[in-house]
Amino acid sequence: MRYTLLTFLLFALVACHRGDAPREDVVQPVKCVVAKPLHAVTRDFAALSTADDAVNLAFKLSGRVVDVPIAKGMSVREGELLARLDSRDVELQLSAAMAAYNETLSRLKRAERLLSHDAISEQEVEALRNAVAQAKVAYENAEQTLQECRITAPFSGVVEYVAVDTYQRVASGETILRLVKPESNTVSFTAPESLISALSLPTTHYNVLFDAYPDTPFSATIKSFARTSSDALGFPVSLRLTDVDRTRYTISPGMTCIAIVSVKEDDSRAVLLPLTAIYAPVGDYDSVWVVDRDSRVHRRRVTLGGVTGSSDVVVFDGIKAGERVVSAGVYKLTEGEKVKVVENFR
């Protein structure tokens, strides 16, 4: 019994001794960034390469299609036959017009010989000359109509789609096929209203990053943009790629990419921080944790601008360039807490 009591007292004394020992503060490790001055706001937009030259081709005549020697995806050369209408009626009209022209021309030549011998009046010869001119116009129109029974490639390109089948009847102006150039220098995307005023500024710069070439940004210039939006979804913008090395890179219509727009920022107070640095409790103001010289954190209220790129945000007020800001674990800190900076990047 005495042994048990002594053992209990010994453990009690040890426990009291441990409880009286001073506790060491746990120093929280954090990652930091140094706030950088903002010279330009960069925004990314989903984009698509589009055809530089593309055309929907149709017959000017109504009729029955008798030949479509091409298919979707085929490459064709300039002047190559793409589709043909049944032209038998037009060929008969051409033959009749040619015969009428030749007969009228022959009559004019005989009349001119007679006129040289004063065997016919000048008025009769002049009437025949007018008849020849009219017959020639009719003949040339028939030739043009025969040519319109054929669709040929206006430029070398790729058939994007074919809308008719052989022996199908088509109306005048009905789309038969679409032809596009296989190489593209144009990139299109939709921009918000807030960006429209900066698109044409000389200080705005453009780059394009294709999914097929993720490590190669291509420089670009503004090609065109609309100042009105018909569907309220944004404003169509087109960029023109510059200095693409076609021996190394193939840019075709339909390739997905990211359009990167860099707009010069005139506010000298603005800095750039990662989104992960923003401390934004529900119902409270936006703030960041600033690390002082003693490695202690202090919460500071900030005024945010727009998101730039995919992971950064513009801060217009509250932070100066060069200050250290916690960039990860912001919801685990308390005011005045001492921290240990384990990584300092940017």
Structure confidence by residue, pLDDT tens digits, 220-273:
999 999 887 776 678 999 999 998 898 899 998 989 999 999 888 766 778 888
Closest to 40 measured CA to CA, from 266, 269, 275, 281:
266
What's the whole-number average pLDDT of the chain? 86
Helices (H), the chain: 2-20, 88-116, 122-147, 193-199
Q: What is the pLDDT of residue 304?
A: 87
Residue 96 has pLDDT above 80, yes or no: yes
The more confidently predicted of residues 194 and 1 is 194
**What pLDDT, on the 0 to 100 scale, is given for residue 9?**
45
pLDDT at 270: 83
Q: Which two tokens stand for residue 224?
A: 């065109």
CA distance 221 to 206: 6
Domains with residue ranges and CATH for the chain: 28-39+268-345 (2.40.420.20), 43-53+183-264 (2.40.30.170), 55-85+151-182 (2.40.50.100), 87-148 (1.10.287.470)
290 CB-near residues (< 8 Å, 6+ apart)? 297, 298, 299, 300, 319, 323, 324, 325, 326
| 269: DSSP letter | T
**Mean pLDDT to the nearest integer, 34-41:** 82
DSSP state of 338: B
Q: Does residue 342 or residue 334 have the better pLDDT? A: 334
In this model, does residue 13 exceed pLDDT 70?
no
The mean pLDDT of 285-296, rounded to a whole number, is 91
pLDDT of res. 8: 47
Nearest by Cα to 207 from 217, 216, 197? 217
Q: Structure pTM? A: 0.59
Q: What is the identity of the amino acid at 29?
A: P
Dig out the tokens for 200 from the structure: 């044409």
**Within the chain, how many helices (H) and strands (E) appear?**
4, 23
The SS3 of residue 65 is: strand
Query: Does the pLDDT at position 178 exceed 90?
Result: yes
The three-point CA angle 37-38-39 to 5° equals 115
* DSSP-derived pairing of the beta strands 339-345 and 28-34: parallel
Nearest to 273 by CA among 191, 345, 339: 345
- CA–CA gap between residue 160 and residue 252 (Å, rounded): 12
pLDDT at 21: 44
Q: In this structure, are residues 118 and 145 in contact, taking their beta carbons and an 8 Å threshold?
A: no
247 residue type, one letter: T
Average pLDDT of the segment spanning 157-183:
93
Q: What is the pLDDT of residue 38?
A: 79
- Those residues with Cβ within 8 angstroms of residue 237's Cβ, 6 or more apart along the chain or in another chain: 188, 189, 190, 191, 199, 222, 224, 225, 226, 259
If one counts every other C-beta atom within 10 angstroms of the C-beta of residue 15, the result is: 10
Alpha-carbon radius of gyration of the chain: 40
The answer, yes or no, to whether residue 201 has pLDDT greater than 90, is no
pLDDT at residue 321, as a whole number? 87
Q: Looking at residue 1, what is its pLDDT?
A: 46
Position 345 confidence tier, pLDDT thresholds 50, 70, 90 = low
